[in-house]
Amino acid sequence: MLATWIKLVDLDERSRDGRGRVTDAILRRGADAIENCEEAFRLTFRLALRNNAIAGDAERDLRVA
């Protein structure tokens, strides 16, 4: 995640002040973007687990029938 955060900061050169420091705003935007990616991953993973469980139930039902 840190590598992604660093890339996000490096992509926006306009966020640097006159002395080359990264402003707080771009750091916050990068942190928010990473948090959103992590949440999307968690939701996708949960959906995949649920779909696997449904598929497993259907497979068991077919074997029983």
Quickly count: other Cβ atoms within 10 Å of residue 8's Cβ: 17
Which residue ranges make up each domain of the chain?
Answer: 2-64
Rounded Cα distance between 43 and 22, Å, is 31
Backbone angles phi, psi at 16, to 5 degrees: -85, 140
Rounded Cα distance between 24 and 9, Å, is 10
4-46 residue pLDDT tens: 555 655 555 555 555 556 667 777 787 888 888 888 888 898 8
- Single pTM value for the model: 0.47
